[in-house]
Structures are given as C-alpha cells and as structure tokens.
Chain A
Amino acid sequence: MAKKVAFLQGNEAAAQGALYAGCTFFAGYPITPSTEVAEVMSAELPKIGGKFIQMEDEIGAMAALIGASLTGVKALTSTSGPGLSLKQENIGYACIAEVPCVIYNVMRGGPSTGMPTGPSQSDVMCAKWGTHGDHPAILLVPASVQETYEETVRAFNLAEKYRTPVMVMPDEIVAHMRERIVFPEKGELEVVDRTAPSVPPEQYKPYDTSFGDVPPLAAFGSGYKFHVTGLNKMQDGFPTTKAEIVQAEEERQVRKVEANKADIMKWEEYLVDDADIVVVAYGSTSRSARFAVNEARKNGIKAGLFRLQTFWPFPEDRLLQISKKVKAFITPEMNLGMCHGVVKGCIEGNAPVLGIFRVDGEPINPGQIVDKMKEVK
C-alpha cells in the first residue's frame, strides 16, 4: 500500500509528529508564528480522547504541561521567542523535578517582540541558558517539514527516555513553508515511553538512583504517592540543602544528557571528508548552505556541509576532529553569531571560523555563502 503523503507546513507536521509519538495533552498560549500547532492539536486531540487547553499565559501553559505530564501523559506546548522567555521559569522546574515534556518553539526575530513574522535562529542560546542554574539541555533543529515531523517524534522519545524537557526549534521559514511529507506508518519510527516503576508504591522513590541516572517516574493517580518540588531534592523527592546530596543530584541531572550525547546528538555530513571549507549550518540556513556547497564544488572549491540536527548537546568532538584537516569553517546563521561562538569554542584554534550573520528577517542566500568561501585563503 502506498504511504500517505501530504503537503504540509512545518508547524502542522510538528503537531502530526506529536500525535504519532503518543502525545495526548497540549497546553499553549497564542503566539505568532507557532499558532498552527495549537490549532491542529485543538482539533485532533479530542478526537482521540486527548486534552487541549489554552491557558491564560505562557507561564501557565508550561506549568499545565508539567502538571499533566506528572499524571503520566505525553505533553506538548508550542511557542515563539517572547513565549519562550516566559516559559523559562517552568522549563527550569521541569529540569530539576525531571518531568518529561516537549517545547516546540518557532524562532522569530528578537529580542522582545522583535519581528513576529520574520525568521531568525536567535533562540538557540536561550534553549540552553535561558533558565537559571545548571541544567541539562536538549535542542533539536529541523531543516525540513519531514524532519520537523520526525524530530518531534524523537523529541518525545528523548524527553521520556531521559526524564527532561526537550526543545524543538525550527526557524520561522521551516515552520511556515509547505513541503511534501510522507507519513511514517505505525511502528516505522521508534516510540519510547517513560520507564514505570518496578517497585511497589511503599518502596518507590521518584529519584531513586539505584535504577541509574534516569530513575523511573510513577504517575500521579496510579497508586503511587510521592512529592515533587522545584527545590533541590533527595532521592525520595523531599527538599534538602545537604551539600553532598545537592552536588550529586545537580551533577546527575546534567550527566543524564552529557553521558548520553552519542544517543542524543544527530548531524549530517555532506561532502565533508575531503573538504577544505566546512559550512556548519542548521535549519533553513542549512538548505542555502547545501546549495552553496554544490555551487562551490562546481567551481573547484572543495566545500562541505556539517548540518546540525541537534544543537544541544553540540557535536564538539566531531568538529574538533574535522578542524584538524580543514582550512576554514563558515557559520551562516540568522543571529549575530551564536553557533559561530560555539564552533570557535570547540576547535581549539585549529582553523578560522568565518561568520555570516543576518538579523534583518531575511534568509541567508547561497550566494552570500559562496562569496564567503572565496575569502578563504
């Protein structure tokens, strides 16, 4: 049987991907340019007995998401820059309380209200450093409608597997452009559910590390009674200020992601093996970069593309390896050098990193990237 295909925009694909992953709860607040996700979810969730709620504000939406997830459901919210700023409070809560959830954020111009309908890639740092304190961060940056669907499924899998919030951030171009999408069939993509406790309620501790760095999470209302707090906590979930416990728990929360980078990170290398110049790009910018690489190759420039699919954790080790044999990196991005700085930070000065930065609401075109390649000596 032929697979189901459709002509969808990124936002619609994200909603469909969430449903594929088993999402049955959505809480959100209207914000351009992400509202299509909420609209699709408001129509689709009740059909399968799921719940959609439009909350009073972005903070409340993030809070409702965590409350819902604690009852055992897979929960999604969608937002954009200003909303992401507001959600940071409870993103931190989900990190410390270790509650799985997915935040889909469409990157528009900023800071503040900025350019609500203009694309940007300037929220990638906010995904890691937006909420205060040390915490794990997982950020997926899809570049196509198909990938937005698939990476939203993977975002749920990672959230459930590592008991932590996961962000998916397409830029506004990916979120709003329409492309052909081939829907995966049931069972074709992996769908992960959180580990349920294997011990009876009276022995259950929500942060019991005898089960490893990711302790099983029971659901409220399933017979397990336990305490959840945003304070630093002990294995039984109750607050503590004991130095050695706080240190160990904080380190474990970050380690959940750091020690599993190989499982989480995803990137694509296109013509990188023999490249003199490697373009490090993500989102819609990576599409211009691929075009530029092909153009450059036609003109005898040995260019390659390193396309980030996860931005956090960042593939530092691989870029360091590559840096030892290239003449230069180019980082085109719709911000003033966020990826640029991270690349510079991990390649130990082995090669120059040339940036192309646009924050004018216009995409970076292939010609700009080819021109930059010509500057490399």
Chain B
Amino acid sequence: MAFDYDKYIRPGKLPHIWCPGCGHGIVMKGLIRAIDAVGLDKKNTAIVSGIGCASRLPGYIDCCTLHTAHGRAAAFATGVKMAKPEMDVILVGGDGDGTAIGGNHFIHACRRNINMTYIIMNNKIYGMTGGQFSPATPTGAKASTTPYGNPDPAFDIAKLAIGAGATFVARGTAYHANQIDKLIAEAIQHKGFSVVEILDDCPTTYGRRNKFRSVIEMMNVLKDIAVPVKAAEKMSPEQLQGKILTGVLYKEEKPEYTTEYAKVIERAKAAK
C-alpha cells in the first residue's frame, strides 16, 4: 500500500506554498512517516515553528500546531513541554530562523536536554525574504545581500548542536528521502533534546544565484557530498574532503530536563 499521508495532512491545505523542487515537502513527508512509525498521538503532539519557508510546515499537519515568532520556536516549545511534559513536542524550521535570530534559544534547548526533537531544514539561505545569506551560507557564495560573495564563515549546525549539549544529533539530506523518516523516528524516540539537520535545497533563491542550472543539479550535489558515518570510517581524510557526514552523528544518554524538574517538585514537596 502507498503510505497514506492524508491521515496527517489537514484537509484542503495542499498544494503547499513551497516552490517547485524545494526539499521542504520531502522533509515534511519524512516527518509524517516518522510520526506514524513511532505511533505518536496527533492530539498529544505539538509541532512548533518560527518564521520562514520551513516554518510554514506545521500549518499542514493535523496536530496541535504553533507557528511562532522568528527564531522563537525552541522557547515557545520549551514552555509547552515544561507545562505539559506528557506531550510530544517537535520543532521545525530553517537554518536562519534556528541558528541566527533563534541561535540563543537553540543552544539553550540543547543544553537543557529537554525531551523535544528539532528538525532543521538547512537550505543555506533566507528563502522567504528573497535569498539573503544565513549563518549556514558557505563562504564565497552569492546571496541577495552578498553580491560580491559571502565573507562570513558558516556554522556546522550539527556540530553546534553537539557542542551545546544536544544528546542526539543526526544529519540527512532531502535527496536521501528514504533515510529522513528513520532519522526523525529515532530522534523522537530518544529521551532528550534531539536535532536532525536535513541538508535541503532552495532552487529559487540559492540555486539560481550560485550557478545551479536546475533542481536536479542541486539534488545531485546532495547525493554526491553525503557520506554515511559508517562508510566514512573507512575513508581517508583526502577522500572525505568536501564531503558531509550523514546518519546518526552523536548519541548519549543524559538526564532529561522535565524528568529532572519532576525531581525538583518532589524535593520541594518534601521540604514543605
């Protein structure tokens, strides 16, 4: 049987707003399959986003959905999760939303290790505002605000998450569609703050400025640069030059925030 996405898509909301060839739709499908695979209860699942193309995702999914202010998804979501830890909370958004204006909330959600899953669609650009460079735009790349090439170095978002304390960090690509749901499902099941970075494409505002002649060319780059972590172990540094590791990059068990706060409640009640 074909997978029934309609079970999770709100009636009448398709087609979505994303441009032809934008990978956000591929990621949304992966997320839906992951929600289904894990067996999350739609009534008890909150999907929270900030602002930007990727942040429009929650509007399509039939759950409790919260489309917040630019960069603030992690902070709004923290309020939801703290107040109602029994809810499953998933955050979605783009690279600019999550690592520039939302960078502080992002690293602190990682640090607290609060049991939520954050899916970052990294298309290396601010798409909705017309293609300004983001903290994930490669040095030298063209954006609407770097007409002479980008002078800024880029974040490695997965490394940033690991450094900040996230206890599950994975990376996939929009090309490797059959892997997305598996990575997200594992992230959701992990107890702690999990981050899944999906390398994505923006043909409209990134591709056309950076000499990609088509969506297909952008997809081919994602296909070519991705190296599964297992395969990378057998490769030399020279062979890994210009490649990006995919799969589960980091995983550890550490005390989870809402569980720790439940202990605070116990201690406070005992001291009363």
Contact = CB atoms under 8 A, between A and B. Distances in A.
Interface of A: 24-25, 27, 43, 46-47, 49, 51, 53, 55-57, 59-61, 63-73, 75, 89-90, 93, 201, 220-221, 223-231, 238-239
B122 interface: no
B83 A90 contact: no
A188 to B, nearest CB: 23
Contacts of A93: 68-69
Contact of A43 (B44, B62, B81, B268): B268
B77 to A, nearest CB: 6
B78 A55 contact: yes
Q: Most chain-B Cβ atoms within 10 A of its Cβ — which of A61, A71, A89, A226?
A: A71
B82 A53 contact: yes
B63 A225 contact: yes
B229 interface: no
Majority-rule SS of A interface residues:
mixed
Contact of B75 (A43, A49, A63, A223): A63
Contacts of B69: 63, 89-90, 93, 230
B191 interface: no
A238 B269 contact: no
B37 to A, nearest CB: 20
Contacts of B261: 46, 51, 53
Interface of B: 42-44, 46, 48, 58-59, 62-69, 72, 74-84, 86-87, 104-105, 107-108, 261, 264-265, 267-269, 271-272
A45 B42 CA distance: 30
A64 B63 CA distance: 19
14 contacts: A25-B79, A27-B79, A27-B82, A46-B261, A47-B269, A55-B75, A56-B105, A64-B76, A67-B75, A67-B81, A201-B43, A225-B43, A226-B64, A227-B65
Contacts of A201: 43
A238 B62 CA distance: 12
Nearest to B78: A64
Contacts of B75: 55-56, 59-61, 63-64, 67
Contact of A220 (B46, B62, B72): B46
A15 to B, nearest CB: 15
A71 B104 contact: no
A201 B69 CA distance: 26
B264 A46 contact: yes
Contacts of A67: 48, 66, 68, 75-81, 83
Contacts of B105: 56, 60, 63
Contacts of B67: 227-231, 239
Contact of A68 (B58, B80, B104, B271): B80
B52 to A, nearest CB: 13
Contact of A60 (B64, B72, B81): B72
B149 to A, nearest CB: 32
Nearest to A44: B268
Contacts of B107: 56
Contacts of B87: 71, 220-221
A56 B109 CA distance: 9
B99 to A, nearest CB: 14
B82 A51 contact: yes
Contacts of A25: 79, 82-83
A65 B79 contact: yes
A365 to B, nearest CB: 43
A228 to B, nearest CB: 5
Contacts of B59: 227, 229, 238-239
A223 B65 contact: no
Nearest to A50: B265
Nearest to B63: A225
Contacts of A56: 75, 104-105, 107-108
A57 B71 CA distance: 13
Contacts of A73: 83
Which 5 pairs of residues, A with B, have the shortest CB-CB distance?
Answer: A67-B79, A64-B79, A46-B268, A63-B75, A60-B75
Contact of B83 (A51, A224, A239): A51
A49 B82 CA distance: 12
A63 B69 CA distance: 9
A73 B268 CA distance: 20
Contacts of B265: 46, 49
Contact of A47 (B46, B83, B272): B272
Contacts of A72: 83-84
A194 to B, nearest CB: 14
Given A227-B58, A227-B59, A220 B272 contact: no
Contacts of B48: 67
Contact of A223 (B43, B79, B267): B43
A63 to B, nearest CB: 4
Given A75-B83, A224-B43, A224-B64, 13 more contacts: A47-B268, A51-B261, A56-B108, A60-B105, A63-B79, A65-B79, A67-B48, A67-B79, A68-B82, A90-B72, A227-B65, A229-B59, A231-B67
A224 B65 CA distance: 11
A59 B72 contact: yes
Nearest to B12: A238
B78 A60 contact: yes
B60 to A, nearest CB: 10
Contacts of B62: 225
A67 B69 CA distance: 12
A154 B82 CA distance: 25
Contacts of B264: 46
A57 B78 CA distance: 13
Contacts of A70: 64, 66, 79-80
A289 to B, nearest CB: 40
A239 B17 CA distance: 12
